[in-house]
Homo-oligomer: A and B are copies of this chain.
């Protein structure tokens, strides 16, 4: 637990941050680049990201325009992807090209992939170095979650006939190029850049200086093709405890290196994406700094279909108006039965999505999932049904009302956990994203069945109610 002193320190920090943000805002207003620069310099990356996000779009663009290219690049890099893409779109294409050239191909590729095709091409056309823009076009053509999309170009390769001494000299002379922590392996290629072998730094430094690295290398090293999907990459890293794999194209040419880190991060992004989608944030990340219109349209895109599904469910109630008119107390229990079943079903959805992710179940295991969920539904349904049924019976002093409400909740719990358990499997089978569609499908089904069960059971027991 935080002590009082820590709290106070924390508060002071917050006040300082707000002050810093205000000063930044004023500096941008006044076009005072130096002051803005100083504030950003002092901030941690999280704070920087926060401050930039809280600026309105105009101030942000103005700030970016004021900074020298290298600092603008640094600023863009510190932002969330969605924000960075937005800023690039607002910039003149020439300036955007300068910033991307500064950022390097890895980061640029990721950003360009998220830009619309026209903006992306306009920016690439402004590149000074056409080799670089061609490489980027190729990178952008790979899916973000494939080996090609995740690879880094920080890969060091030498020709087979290079000697150990030559490699060491090269490393010594260009130490700053290799000072990157990621360089622990050297790849060996032939004159056409075809991957031939791999050599650990260790083995290089321990090797006789006059030998060609082609003799020291491990031949036919494990590699992954540019189009390998994230799922398969995950498998490959699971099977071999390597920190990285070289990425090769269809001809076997070395194109880059994909690290365990990059794979892990992509997996984590996918999981975030699932969470957002399951909450109805679709079509990419939403940040509150985005324009209102875009945020509204995106959220409505998911709410729209939902209103139709809701209508479908509500139509059940409409068809039982007479029953409802006769026993108005039922109206109190309709939303409760559908809500509670929805909650139970969502638990089953989450477990199925989790087990699919872990590779513990596959779509064809639906019978097993169904069996497991029906038993659980029977148990939990009885518990919840007895609780709600008792409450209903006591409230209106009518045991039949209790039986109707409790029975409906029990049956609907069994139904909803069964549906919740298998819907993700069915969606996966038909290659629809389970995180996106399971929730709305489940809710509609359990709403409909819940309303139907309460009202039809009530109709049947009408003379006792």
Interface residues of A in 354-373 (CB under 8 A from B): 354-355, 357-362, 364-365, 368-369, 372-373
Q: Which residues on B sit within 8 Å (CB–CB) of A361? A: 50, 53, 288
**Total chain A interface residues with beta-carbon distance under 8 A:** 107
| Chain B residue at minimal CB-CB distance from A2 | B431
* Stretch from A33-41, A65-73, A248-256, A317-325 at the B interface: A317-325
Q: How far is the CA of A310 from the CA of B267 in the complex (A)?
A: 36
User: 0/1 per residue, A378-421, Cβ < 8 Å to B?
Assistant: 01100110011001000100000000000000000000000000
- The segment out of A117-125, A208-216, A301-309, A456-464 that lies at the interface is A301-309
Separation of A121 and B335 alpha carbons in the complex (Å): 48
Copies in the complex: 2
A325-B327 Cα distance, complex, nearest whole Å: 9
Return the CB mask of A311-350 against B: 1 if under 8 Å, else 0. Answer: 1011001100100110011011111101110011011011
Q: Cβ of A347 and Cβ of B299 under 8 Å apart?
A: yes
Q: Which of B289, B300, B336, B351 contacts A311 (CB 8 A)?
A: B336
Which residues of B sit under 8 angstroms from A275, Cβ to Cβ? 271, 274-275, 278, 350, 353
Q: Provide the residues of chain B in CB contact with A314, threshold 8 Å.
A: 332-333, 335-336
Which B residues are in CB contact (< 8 Å) with A157?
Answer: none
CA distance A373 to B339 in the complex (A): 25
Query: A296: CB under 8 A from chain B?
Result: yes
Q: Chain B contacts of A357 at CB under 8 A?
A: 272
B335 and A280 within 8 A (CB)? no
| Contact B328 A321, beta carbon cutoff 8 Å | yes
- A380 interface neighbour in B206, B239, B296, Cβ under 8 Å: B296
Q: Is A447 an interface residue (CB 8 A)?
A: yes
| Interface-side segment among A24-32, A88-96, A258-266 | A258-266
- A384 vs B310: C-alpha distance in the bound complex, in angstroms? 12
A230 and B281 alpha carbons, distance in the complex (Å):
26
A-side interface mostly: helix
Cβ of A279 under 8 Å from chain B: yes
A285 at interface by CB-CB < 8 Å: yes
A280 touches B340 (CB 8 A): no
Contacts of A306 in B (CB 8 A): 339-340, 343
Q: Given A321-B328, A335-B313, A347-B302, do A360 and B261 touch, yes or no (CB 8 Å)? A: no
Q: Is the CB of B443 within 8 A of A362?
A: no
| B residues less than 8 Å from A351 (CB atoms) | 281, 286-288
A280 to B422, CA, bound (A): 17
The answer on a CB contact under 8 Å between A387 and B307 is yes
**Contacts of A243 on B, CB cut-off 8 Å?**
181-182
A156: Cβ under 8 A from any B Cβ: no
Top 5 A-B pairs ranked by shortest CB distance?
Answer: A279-B350, A46-B359, A268-B268, A205-B205, A331-B331
Residues on A lying within 8 angstroms of B by beta carbon are 14, 44-47, 49-50, 53-54, 80, 181-182, 184, 201-202, 205-206, 235, 238-239, 241-243, 260-261, 264-265, 267-268, 271-272, 274-276, 278-281, 285-289, 292, 295-296, 299-300, 302-303, 306-307, 310-311, 313-314, 317-318, 321, 324-325, 328-329, 331-336, 338-340, 343-344, 346-347, 349-351, 353-355, 357-362, 364-365, 368-369, 372-373, 375-376, 379-380, 383-384, 387-388, 391, 395, 443, 447, 451
